[in-house]
Amino acid sequence: MGQPTGSRSSRPQLVHRLSPSPPQPEFLKVDHRPASEFAPELRRRQQRLAEISETIHVASLLHDDVIDDATTRRGITALNCDVGNKVAILAGDFLLARASVSLAALENTDVVKLMSQVLENLVAGEIMQMTATQEQLTDMDFYLRKTYCKTAALMANSAKSVAVLAGASDAVAAVAEGYGRHLGLAFQIVDDLLDLTSSATILGKPALNDIKSGLATAPVLFAAEEQPALRPLILRRFKSDGDLGKAVSLISQSSGLRRAKELAEHHAHMAASLIRALPDAESEHAARCRAALIKITQRVLSRSK
């Protein structure tokens, strides 16, 4: 099987690469078995956590496609268009049920709490998006909170769960959570940029989809600070004739794209700096994994789909 490409391998790679980072000796204090016996068991549990994280993500995509009336996903027909909304929703529910069973099998209540919080965040983020007031539609802080719920929470809590499973200190667990949070925010902001600058062929989904769906993302909000004519378009969710073309024109006349890119770079650099600030790695393997985590932050910025 080939190496996963593009952005969609970020979540499972994040879990795998974080796995060796927490200090192993601290973890071994909670169990008297030899390290040679314990390490394979820990790796299996962390592998399962990576699967749980990706399963939750896929379930959320199935539900999102129904909510958004999406017709394509990754360049192919969306499931809801193939089998209908009811079956697509049930498919998402089934994946969440399977993830819950696997999560319980880890037998770690702290990890169960962390990953259950993700499910709450996903729903809360979608509700925030659907029920935003006019004031919230143009508020960058609101956009970032919503983005955390819809995208970054899964990365943040998955990363923290890796550390918790390894018995890491609270300080190391906080580093893992911060890395995932900043990586998730950078990831989504880049996604928002690509929606405005890339083609449907490359993205595997319709371009300009956010504006067509009535959403003002980071580049649009930055552009509106310089182009007041954008504000009424945002407030009516780009629903009037000519709004789409006018919005694209106004954005192109602003520094919105550049400022959004800088914001993504800020969060990616914050994620990388948290990994660099960890104590020296105890093994060559751990050092390689930390280097890979930093490389992931660079890949998030350079991706084209």
Q: How far is CA 150 from the centre of its chain?
A: 7
What pLDDT, on the 0 to 100 scale, is given for residue 199?
66
Looking at the predicted structure, is the pLDDT value of residue 33 above 50? no
* Residue 196 belongs to some domain of the structure: yes
> Given pLDDT bands bounded at 50, 70 and 90, which one contains residue 28?
very low
* Residue 283 belongs to some domain of the structure: no
Mean pLDDT of the chain: 87
Domain CATH number, residue 121? 1.10.600.10
What pLDDT, on the 0 to 100 scale, is given for residue 31?
35
Q: What mean pLDDT comes out for the span 109-120? A: 98
Tell me 2's DSSP state: P
| Domains of the chain: total | 1
Per-residue pLDDT reduced to its tens digit, 60-82: 999 999 998 888 887 789 999 99
* Residue 285 belongs to some domain of the structure: no
Looking at the predicted structure, is the pLDDT value of residue 217 above 50? yes
* Residue 251 belongs to some domain of the structure: yes
Looking at the predicted structure, is the pLDDT value of residue 182 above 60? yes
* Residue 36 belongs to some domain of the structure: yes
The helix (H) or strand (E) run that includes residue 73 is strand 72-73
The 3-state DSSP class for residue 271 equals: helix
* Residue 17 belongs to some domain of the structure: yes
Angstrom distance (rounded) from CA 251 to CA 230? 8
Tell me 185's DSSP state: H
Of the candidates 302, 64, 299, 75, the residue with the CA atom closest to the CA atom of residue 193: 302
In which domain, by residue range, is 272 found?
A: 8-278+291-302
Residue 160 vs residue 40, higher pLDDT: 160
Q: What mean pLDDT comes out for the span 135-145? A: 98
* Residue 295 belongs to some domain of the structure: yes
What pLDDT, on the 0 to 100 scale, is given for residue 2?
38
Looking at the predicted structure, is the pLDDT value of residue 278 above 80? yes
* Residue 51 belongs to some domain of the structure: yes
Residue type, 282: E
Q: What mean pLDDT comes out for the span 242-256? A: 96
Q: What mean pLDDT comes out for the span 44-65? A: 94
Find residue 135's DSSP bridge partners.
none
Residue entry with tokens 């006349």: 253
Alpha carbon of 267 to those of 2, 113, 144, 271, 298: distances in Å? 29, 26, 12, 6, 11
Q: What mean pLDDT comes out for the span 2-24? A: 49
